[in-house]
Amino acid sequence: MGPPIRSCSGIIRKPKETMRLIVTTFVGVVFGFFLGVSFPTLSLTKMNLPTSLFPSIDLTYIEDKYAGLSTQALLNAWYSRKRDGVSSTPFHKYKDTKIWVPTNPRGAERLPPGIIESESDFFLRRLWGQPSEDLTIKPKYLVTFTVGYDQKNNINAAVKKFSENFTILLFHYDGRTSEWDEFEWSRRAIHVSAQKQTKWWYAKRFLHPDIVAPYDYIFIWDEDLGVEHFDAEEYIKLVRKHGLEISQPGLEPNKGLTWQMTKRRGDSEVHKDTEEKPGWCSDPHLPPCAAFVEIMAPVFSRDAWRCVWHMIQNDLVHGWGLDFALRKCVEPAHEKIGVVDAQWIVHQSVPSLGNQGQAEIGKPPWQGVRERCRKEWAMFQDRLVKAEKAYFEAMGIDPPNSTAR
C-alpha cells in the first residue's frame, strides 16, 4: 500500500476513496447538465410546488395556453395574471366542462341556452339611455308594402289606415328612399331598397319567421290598393273572431276580378268559400272555391307565415302559384283561410312593377314580366308535385293525385 494522500482539508484519504469521489462528482455534473437541458420541456403539472409559494395556480391551464415558452416565461405569465387582477378560480373546471346543447338553434350548440336570442324584430332603438326604456309601445302587427316613389300618394293614404300598433316596412324597388321623408310617418318606418325586385324576393330575404316573430299578423301588400273602406284594427278583430290564419280583404266587385273567391260580399263579415265557373273546382273545399286568397294583399298569422316562408322558392320571385298552395300551411284550410268582406279594398291594377322589366325583340317591358310570371307558376307546380311524390314514396305510401294545381 502506498502512503496515504492528504487532502486540502487536512483529512487524509486513501486512493480508492479519492477515485470514488471523482467519479461521483463527474456523474453528478453530467446528471445536472442533462437535467438542466431537459427542464424547459418538463410538465409543470408533475412538479410538487409548495402551495404557499404558488397559491391557486392552475398549472394545466398555464402550460396549455403558453405551450412552447420557457419556464421563466410561464411563471412571468402567471405573475402578470395575478398583477392584473384576473380571477384565480381554477380554470380546469371550465376547460373540462365544454358546452354542447343539441336543442339550441343550429350553429348555437356551444352557447348556454340562457344567452341565446333566436328571434329579432323591426323595433327601432335609441343610441342612448337604458334599453328597457327604448320603446313606449311595442307594435303587435307588421305591414309591408313594395313600392315605387310614383305611388307615394297611394301609399301615404294606405299607411294612415294602420295605427301605431303596426310597424311599417317599405320595400323600394326603384331605389328612391330619402324622398319619402316628406311624410312624417316615413321617419318611423323601416326602408329596404333593392333595384327591380318583387315583394316575394324581399319577403324571402327580410321576413324570416324568426325576424317577424313578435308580430301576431303580417300584412304583405302591393302598392296599388285603394283603402278608403278599410280599417286595419277592425280587420284584425274580424280575423280573430272568425279564426282566420290566412286572409285578405274583399275586393271591390265593380273592378275586374280574376277569382270569384276574392269578390266582396255585401251581406257578410267574412266568407270562406264560393262557386266558380263549371269545372274550375274539383272539390268545394279546394282552391279556387275555398282555402284560397290572392297574393296581392294577403295577411298571415305568425304561425301560418312560418310555414309559408319556407314554401317560398328562392328563385321564383313573382309568387305565382303560391295562392293555390297556401292551404298546405293550415289545417283545416277551408275553415282557416277566408276573405274579410266587412273591410274591403280596391285593386287599382297599376302596372308599376311590370314597367320595371326590360324591352326585348320589340316586346314592351311588361310583356316579358308577365311571361316570366306564367313560367314561374308552372315551375312552382312542377316542384311541388315532385316534392310530394318523393315524400310519399320515401314513406312507402302510394302518392295521391296531385294537389298542387
Q: Which of 99, 127, 153 is the last residue of a domain?
A: 99
User: Are 95 and 231 found together in one domain?
Assistant: no
- Encode pLDDT of 165-205 as tens digits: 999 999 999 999 999 999 999 999 999 999 999 999 999 99
Residue 242: is its pLDDT beyond 80?
yes
| Placement of cell 301588400 in the chain | 221
Among the residue ranges 21-30, 64-73, 150-159, the one predicted with the least confidence is 64-73
Domain membership of residue 292 (yes or no) is yes
Domain membership of residue 251 (yes or no) is yes
Residues 247/239, Cβ–Cβ less than 8 Å: yes
Q: Which of 69, 99, 129 is the last residue of a domain?
A: 99
CB under 8 Å to 95, separation ≥6 — which residues?
60, 61, 64
The burial class, CB within 10 Å (0-12 / 13-18 / 19+), for 78 is buried
Domain membership of residue 201 (yes or no) is no
Domain membership of residue 385 (yes or no) is yes
Q: What is the pTM of this model?
A: 0.74
Residue 315: is its pLDDT beyond 90?
yes
- Encode pLDDT of 90-133 as tens digits: 444 545 689 999 999 999 999 999 999 999 999 999 999 999 99
Residues 318/200, Cβ–Cβ less than 8 Å: yes
User: Are 86 and 234 found together in one domain?
Assistant: no
Give the separation between CA 68 and CA 53, rounded to whole angstroms: 24
Partnered with residue 171 across adjacent β-strands are 146, 192
User: Are 82 and 215 found together in one domain?
Assistant: no
Domain membership of residue 20 (yes or no) is no
Domain membership of residue 42 (yes or no) is no
Percent of the chain with pLDDT over 90: 65
Number of domains in the chain: 2
Residue 84: is its pLDDT beyond 80?
no
The burial class, CB within 10 Å (0-12 / 13-18 / 19+), for 312 is middle
Domain membership of residue 290 (yes or no) is yes
User: Are 229 and 374 found together in one domain?
Assistant: yes
pLDDT confidence of residue 354 = 63
Q: Which of 99, 125, 155 is the last residue of a domain?
A: 99
Which run of H or of E encompasses 124?
A: none
Which run of H or of E encompasses 315?
A: none
Q: Which of 108, 297, 121, 127 is nearest to 213 (CA)?
A: 121
Q: Which domain holds residue 228?
A: 210-393
Domain membership of residue 70 (yes or no) is yes
Task: Label each residue of 230-264 as H, E or C.
Answer: CCHHHHHHHHHHCCCCEEEEEECCCCCCCCHHHEC
Give the separation between CA 323 and CA 64, rounded to whole angstroms: 60
